[in-house]
Chain A
Amino acid sequence: MMAAPIYLDYCATTPCDPRVVQGMLPHFTSRFGNAASRDHSFGWMAKEAVEQAREQVAALVQAGPQQIVFTSGATEAINLALKGLAEACPHKGKHIITAKTEHRAVLDTCSWLEEKGFSITLLDVDADGCVRPEDVAQAIRKDTLCVALMYANNETGVIHPVREIGALAKKHNVYFVCDATQAAGKIPVSVVEDHIDLMAFSAHKLYGPMGAGALYVSNVRHILPQQHGGAHERSRRSGTLNTPGIVGFGLAADICRQEMAADAKRLRQLRNRLERELQDLVPGTAVNGNGPRLPHVSNMLFPGIDSEQLLLAVSARLALSRGSACSGLVQQPSHVLMAMGLTREETLRAVRISLGRFTTADEINTAVAVLSSAVRELQQINAQV
């Protein structure tokens, strides 16, 4: 087997931190109990482990432990938030405000609600990829149930003015649902200061395992359960708890809380250098998204190439991602970049590079060299065709 490629797709998923894995392992074997078993020590120990994780996860976003509902991941948390809120507040109106650049988990759930009679306002973003608070204010109606906007974008890393949006929502007495999947554990997130009512995030984006996520719920009365059968998680989400996953989530959150400032500082330098050097080496290269951005994400536009072609060409050395999703035979242009005003053709030249805790300066050097030479080579090939 050849050496693994350099992983620069931390926005898709992160490797588990080895410290997290160590902490999880006993929960597969000796400490395997069901947290809902109330009559023996195996259950008690499992429950203790889950509750400790709940505290760790809550602390990461400055929430109270009783406000954390464990789910299978962010997508489930978003579904629970939006559908649970819609069901719990029939009196409050049937209007939801979201944005064109949201993740599919939010957009598809909103479309589903639209079929059930909700009306959805899809806000535009500016060329930098940012939602303007004044647009949010303008869109709020009497029957607005909630504003559903992400903390930071998964394709560009652009950070929304969350605090302003939260304050606006509070002022107009509408709920603020926030998808913080990319932001939690990477930058300081405070559900209190940001006035967030419901917030989804996931373990596997912050060096924890896949299959564990959380929904922060500021007040239990805000949502109705979407999954029944055992009244786990204080009746908000039934189903046996994924104890090893939740323990891992807790440990990962705890490590992030302590280390994210240092990680962010280091990664911001590496990311900025990567962008600078690639722009120097490949004339015409542009960075998508401007203003406040996550420190570890870069979305770049290379001239004269097709991103799929580029990513496959470098796949033996580098693991990167396209901004866009591919469905079946037809490559769909990125809805995020399209919303930012890029043409369809431009979106097909975009590449997302996301760094993380285990990224080294050497790896960035290699990435710059491999990417720049691959782009130049493909530019030549494409020019001949």
Chain B
Amino acid sequence: MKELQQIIQAFEQACLKNQKTALATVVHVEGSSYRGPGARMLITETGMLTGAISGGCLEGDALRKALAVMMEGKPMLATYDTSDEDDAVIGVGLGCSGIIRVLIEPVVPEHASNPVALLQQVVQKREPSVLLTFFSLHNKWAEQQGTRLLLKADGTMLQAAPLPAAAMPDAAAAFENKATAFIEYPGQLSAFVEYITPPLALVVAGAGNDVLPLVQMAAVLGWDVTLVDGRPNYASTRRFPGCRLVVADPAAALQNLEVDDQTAVVLMTHNYNYDKALLKSLLQLPVHYIGMLGPKKKLARMQAELEEEGMAFSQEIAARVYSPVGLDIGADTAEEIALAVLAEIKAVFAGRKGGSLRHATGSIHERNTEIVAKE
């Protein structure tokens, strides 16, 4: 999501300078690759790159192809076979073996539904989106290729060109399944039906010095960060530039917050009563992750008190509370704790346990890239 925002920004700058651009999108991968379908890169006519489609191996060649695409004014599908060790383009030593398909399309700013305009809709509102990017496995210069349809959960729609009849129902199905799909339509056109969730949102209660690294690292990850604290001299833009700030007591704070199922909340006010008040309210909201700084004893005491106050602490509710907060990586300093907390949040929302990959069986990425043929 951060990548999309950077691409949009780079596109706007290129437009100001009257520069042509092209968008490269990884639309399909067979086998393993560093970046999966949905990785994107913007290329300007002066050779500036924003975003990435690989770990650096394909960018140089894709850049030249993109310059050719800008000159031709037509989309093109580039196919890279990284299993070919003798490939002169990629060179040896890649160590991956996969077939990566990258659609490179010109972006025409004058077109209201150009690919970047569609991406703009994806990032604009915190709503899931479905984006359809068409490519042809049979004709790499097929003109109908491109980023063509955007749908948002709230009903927003942007369409760039006539689509195969089945495309709209397939997009709706992606919403229902909350999953990305690859579909081949009759007439040589395939679609990368991409289900995109909003970026993780992080709400941090507390604006002490130990929160600084947490906020900075979350920004690197491209997460939306909101800071909640009752002390205006702590929760200030001077200390936390580029961060949404809510200065309020616990009861009022939550009224100012919008939480959704992609939001994680971390309580680190170092103020027992402030934490407790927030926890009480949060437990009644659909928040999947509530992390709280402090030892097990603190949570036990809080739970006992809340139950005394008449709150039922069901297993389902308790499962959403992560305290002591963070993965067990031996974190000690504020920076290390920030790392442990962010890693735990990432793992929870990805449905992973957070161990070492070397102990994992199966592939690193859970990608289903089978192309389903449609009648």
A-side residues, CB < 8 A to B, are: 1-2, 4-5, 309, 312-313, 315-316, 327-330, 374
Interface string of B51-80 (1 = CB under 8 A from A): 000000100100110010011110000000
Q: Are A329 and B91 in contact (CB under 8 A)?
A: yes
0/1 per residue, B71-100, Cβ < 8 Å to A?
111000000000000001011100000000
Decide: A315 and B67 in contact? CB cutoff 8 A.
yes
How far is the CB of B67 from the nearest CB of chain A, in Å? 5
Question: A312 touching B71 by the CB < 8 A rule?
Answer: no
A313:B57 contact, CB within 8 angstroms: no
State A366–B46 Cα separation when bound (angstroms): 17
| Complex CA–CA separation, A330 to B93 (angstroms) | 12
Q: Residues of A contacting B73 with CB < 8 Å?
A: 1-2
Q: Which residues of B contact A313 (CB under 8 A)?
A: 46-47
- For residue A309, which residue of chain B has the nearest CB? B47
Contact A316–B92 (Cβ < 8 Å): no
Residues of B within 8 A of A312 (CB): 46-47, 63-64, 67
Closest to A317 in B: B45
Q: Does B20 contact A (CB under 8 A)?
A: yes
Chain B CB within 10 Å, residue with most, of A2, A312, A313: A312
How far does the alpha carbon of A328 sit from the alpha carbon of B45 in the complex, in Å?
23
Q: A329 to B70: give the CA distance in the assembly, Å.
A: 24
Query: Which residues from chain B contact A328 at a C-beta distance below 8 Å?
Result: 88, 90-92
CA of A316 to CA of B72 in the docked complex: distance in angstroms? 11
Closest A residue to B63 by CB, please name it.
Answer: A312
Among B18-53, those with CB < 8 Å from A are 20, 45-47
When C-beta atoms are compared, the residue in chain A nearest to B71 turns out to be A2
* 5 further interface pairs, Cβ-Cβ under 8 Å (given A2-B73, A312-B63, A328-B90): A1-B73, A2-B71, A4-B71, A316-B71, A374-B46
How far is A330 from B90 in the complex, measured between Cα atoms in Å? 10
With A312-B47, A312-B63, A316-B20 known to touch, is A1 a contact of B91 (CB < 8 Å)?
Answer: no
Q: Tell me the bound Cα distance from A175 to B92 in angstroms.
A: 40
Which residue on chain B has the smallest CB distance to residue A310? Answer: B47
Nearest CB on A from B299, distance (A): 48
Contact B20 A329 (CB under 8 A): no
User: Chain A contacts of B60 at CB under 8 A?
Assistant: 329
Nearest chain B residue, comparing its CB with the CB of A326: B60
Query: Could you name 6 residue pairs across A and B whose Cβ atoms are closer than 8 Å?
Result: A312-B63, A312-B64, A312-B67, A327-B88, A328-B91, A329-B60
Q: Count how many pairs of residues, one from A and one from B, have CB atoms less than 8 Å apart in the complex.
A: 37
Whether the Cβ atoms of B70 and A316 lie closer than 8 Å is: yes
**A31 to B64 CA separation, bound complex (whole angstroms):** 39
A191 to B72, CA, bound (A): 44
A83–chain B nearest beta-carbon distance, Å: 24
For B67, list chain A residues within 8 Å (CB). 312, 315-316
> How far is B90's CA from A174's CA once the two chains are assembled, in angstroms?
43
- A2, A329, A330, A374: the one within 8 Å of B57 (CB): A329
A200 CB to nearest B CB, Å: 24
Contacts of B64 in A (CB 8 A): 312
Residues of B within 8 A of A5 (CB): 71
- Look across to chain B and name the residue whose beta carbon is closest to the beta carbon of A312: B47
CA separation between A328 and B60, bound complex, in Å?
10
Nearest opposing residue in chain A for B91, CB measure: A328
Chain B residues, CB < 8 A from A309? 47
| Chain B min CB distance to A328 (Å) | 3
Q: How far is the CA of A316 from the CA of B70 in the complex (A)?
A: 8
Contacts A1-B71, A1-B73, A2-B73 given; does A316 touch B45 at CB 8 Å: yes
Closest 3 CB pairs of A and B: A328-B91, A312-B47, A313-B46
Q: Which residue of A lies closest to B44 (CB)?
A: A313
Task: Return chain A residues, CB-CB under 8 Å to B47.
Answer: 309, 312-313, 315
CB distance from A86 to the nearest CB of B (A): 29
The interface residues of chain A lying within 8 Å CB-to-CB of B91 are: 327-330
- What separation, in Å, do the CA atoms of A44 and B308 have in the docked complex? 110
Q: Complex formed: what's the CA distance from A2 to B46 in Å?
A: 15
A306 CB, nearest partner CB in chain B, Å: 10
Q: Which chain A residue shows the least CB distance to B57?
A: A329
C-alpha gap A315/B90 in the complex (Å): 22
The closest CB in chain A to the CB of B46 belongs to A313
Interface centre among B20, B63, B71, B73 (most CB of A within 10 A): B71
**How far, in angstroms, from A327 to B67 measured CA to CA in the complex?**
20
Q: Report chain A residues within 8 Å CB of B63.
A: 312
Residues of B within 8 A of A327 (CB): 88, 91
In the assembled complex, how far is the CB of residue A385 from the closest CB belonging to chain B, in whole angstroms? 13
Residues of B within 8 Å of A315, CB to CB, are 45, 47, 67
- Chain A residue nearest to B87 (CB atoms) is A328
Give Cα A374–Cα B91 distance, bound, in whole angstroms: 30
What's the least CB distance linking B231 to chain A, in Å? Answer: 38
Q: Give the nearest-CB partner of B67 in chain A.
A: A315
Choose among B46, B60, B72 the residue with the greatest number of A CB atoms under 10 Å from its CB: B46
- Closest residue of A by beta carbon distance from B70: A316
Interfacial chain A residues near B20, Cβ < 8 Å: 2, 316
Residue of A nearest to B72 (CB): A1
Which B residues lie within 8 Å of A2 (CB)?
20, 70-71, 73
Docked CA distance A329–B93 (Å)? 10
* Closest Cβ–Cβ distance, residue A378 to chain B (whole Å): 9
Contacts of A4 in B (CB 8 A): 71
Q: In the complex, which residue of chain A has the Cβ closest to the Cβ of B60?
A: A329
B87 to chain A minimum Cβ distance, whole angstroms, is 9
**How many whole Å from A348's CB to the nearest CB in chain B?**
15
